[in-house]
Amino acid sequence: MGLEKSAFIFDMDGTIVDNMAFHTQSWITFFEQRGMTIDAEEFFRTTAGRQGKEIIRAHMGEHLLDDEVLALNLEKETVYRELYGPHRKTVGGFDELIRRAKEQGVVLAVATAAPNANIEFTLDGLDLRRHFDIVVGAADVARGKPNPDGFLLAAERCAVPPERCIVFEDAPLGVEAARRAGMRCVVLTTTLPANAFDEFENVIAVAADFSELDIDALFAD
């Protein structure tokens, strides 16, 4: 890798941890209780990376008051944490990739659509926060993915230009957010297969887990 300052910006859910099936299950339960049915795969493609409040308003009505949305989102995220809690662990090869990235001086950030309680649940619950220079969550930006706001804020706080940032993502809306931010992207196929990302020209690598990735090769692109 060259001497220029560079950053890795990790999506959290579905990327650092393989938890999207648990998010989807908690949404299915949440909507079922309100007499609504959702298709799991379609739901993942169209919502993963959006903020909970955006997902709730899109499905239940834009008229909902902020406090109502907050309470509904709290309910959904509580179910999610109960479901995923016993399964919490990082995706294979994550610790080793972080170790190598630190050795090479890569600045490390997280940019997630998750609320603070879920960030604490995952990053503190797995003792990962110490690895990251910057953590950006739903509370820091108005709009979720596919808007680039979270990635751009993370890059700004890292003081690394977008073209020197590599995003790690598992969801199409997240890859699109990276594209809009002017960032290259590594896709983790935790939830969708590689061909679900064929349309994206900013994808530089696709991997089942982090052990398959070579840092020098990523920055050589």
Contact footprint for ligand BG6 (CB under 6 A):
11-14, 23, 27, 47-49, 52, 55, 112-114, 118, 171, 174
The kind and range of the H/E element at 109 are strand 107-111
Q: In this structure, what token pair is assigned to residue 115?
A: 């609320």
Nearest CA-CA partner of 52 in 116, 109, 9: 116
Q: In this structure, what token pair is assigned to residue 130?
A: 């110490």
Minimum distance of ligand BG6 from residue 105's CB (angstroms):
25
Among residues 27 and 210, whose Cβ is nearest to ligand BG6?
A: 27
Q: In this structure, what token pair is assigned to residue 187?
A: 């896709």
Minimum distance of ligand BG6 from residue 216's CB (angstroms):
27
Among residues 11 and 184, whose Cβ is nearest to ligand BG6?
A: 11
Among residues 31 and 133, whose Cβ is nearest to ligand BG6?
A: 31
DSSP letters of 161-189?
-GGGEEEEESSHHHHHHHHHTT-EEEEET
Minimum distance of ligand BG6 from residue 129's CB (angstroms):
15
Q: Which residues contact 38 (CB under 8 A, 6 or more apart)?
A: 27, 28, 31, 59
Minimum distance of ligand BG6 from residue 183's CB (angstroms):
14
